[in-house]
Structure 1
Amino acid sequence: MGAFRRHSGVVLASAALCAVLGFAAVARADEAPAATVVDARPADPPLTGEQAKAWCIEQIAAGVTNPQVEAHLAELLATATAAEEVFELQRLAALAALCGGRFAEAHDRLAALLQTTEAAGRPEIEALLALLGDYPDGQYVVTAEHLAAGALLGEAEPVPPGTASLADPTVLRFALRDLAAGAVDKGLALMARAGETKPDLPDRAETLYALAAQRFGWADGLVEGLGAGYRREAVAARISLIHDRIEQAARQFDTELKAIGRIDLPVDIYRGHLQSMQICLLGVDRDLQTILGLAAVDPDHFDPQIRCAHEDLQRIGRMRTTLEQELHEAQ
């Protein structure tokens, strides 16, 4: 279906675009119950509170330009106190400006939002700001490639090729896809550099894999599924490097263990070996915790790594306890 679907004289935004803009509750036109149909007429009777906010979301998601949206949002902002609520209302105001073709206002609002802590994990804020920075007049070039991709995705009502406004939700979808695809390309370039760097500078390679995973995750936040597979690949490569580091620490631990097996070892040297073993285990513990954090992006896919990390952490914990007792006794 297209970015908008006509239904009984009203327009509903596509599920894909709504998800990107944070309007996941807006349904497809051919699936929507009567209660979710967007009415472009002014609200009557007047709405307040959550009803007014929900109505504004419907209007913005449908691409409807309505002065009452700005009026309702201004009233809601005047009474909002919680940081998250203020952020959400300011975000809606920015999107309303974008839908209304007020691109400079939308840019300024998005720029302010990007400075807040609430913007973390919201790639659409950065993406929309980047678009309006690159295209301050809101005019984006729709190409034959856009139309072909739209047809593959089932968009039956694409815009014609040529210059078109980002206020049009179909054009906005094309632009966001382009940004997401660009992020994937950057991530792949980082992956290639990491592969080249890995033999000589594994720590540098790990950093590059982490940056690549961020790019893929950002792309996936704009176009669901676009970067997920690549992100898993980058995370797996980073986990592999961490395993290499753990194996290196294990070899060092074994070397220290063999050293304390000698007869008549002075106490201070004996304690030094024990402390070196403690340092090895502490590093392994940190690395295992890092693996658990990385694997959390897709627990089902990384289930074997998660289970192994938990088992190893328990074993490392027991070994650290034993070493602490031994150090206490070796006075």
Structure 2
Amino acid sequence: MSAKDARDRIADDAVAQRLLNLAFIFNTSTRPISTDEIVSDSDLGYGSTNRESEVKKFNRDRKKLSEQGIEIIPAPVELGAENETALWMLDRENTFAAGGIITPDDAALLAEAIDEYLSGKTSPLRTPLMRVRTKVAEVARSPQEPPAAAAPASAHQAMLDTIWLAFSLHRTLSFSYTNARGETSRRSVQIFGIFTHEGATYIVGLDDASHALRTFRTDRMEQALRPGASYRIPDDFDIHEFLFMPFDFGGEEGVDATFSFPAESDAHALTHGRGAVSPTPDGSLRWTVRVRNLDAAAAFALEHARDGMRPCAPQALIDAWGAKIREAVETHEAR
């Protein structure tokens, strides 16, 4: 490669990085962003002392993004701009709104498939799929059919979009995070997996602050400003090891609980890969797992009693199991 080719390659990479940075920051921002904020931010790829040159660079980048279907437009005056061109925002309605890709019949079938998939369930795919559905519905709709009212995009929806994009591209995501104690910190995470639990969405990934795998609740994440370095998900990563169980939530200190179930039971389905499963001399299996709520753990065992699941230790777990059975019997007799 010649010196000129090398310089051109570096320049192309810098442009691509700026475009990706802009796409991320505008997609996750809950307010319009000023020209000065953009052209002075070295993390975004700008920040030289020549402001006029940086403004021209930003305008060229906006045009390149528009060619890819990402529309960054002047914010309306009522959103706080004294000058219509002083603040910028993502045009969510028209971003990626390219027509002529699929036929109206195909679009109608796709919209029905999305509705069927999302019916009665929560999923981290809901936001990107609903965006797709909105676009294909526009293609499928007949000229006489009035357009459906568009739901306003929330900050959390934008965050979910960004999380999914970072995960799909395998790019490190930086964000502000507020934990359950109200403590806020800046985090940078390589996202290895996404899951939902009781209506909330969580990510699992390698956290740069702790240098360990951590779980983060997405509705406590804010201000994902830019993508970071690329990464590779380890081959031995198993998201089942991080899925929540009913007994993971509670004010109690975690204790090791042991359950038994028959050898022919599907251990993976019952344990979701959590804890340790070991055989016993009589052929049954023992499952030991950390629990934070013994009452919930007893209820979980009772729910799977038909599968042969029984509590073994500690005694407090066995007592809670007995109380659950008595409660069920009393309720049945009262009917």
TM-score of the two chains, using structure 2 as the length reference: 0.24
More strand by share: 2
More helix by share: 1
Bigger-Rg structure (1/2): 1
TM-score of the two chains, using structure 1 as the length reference: 0.24
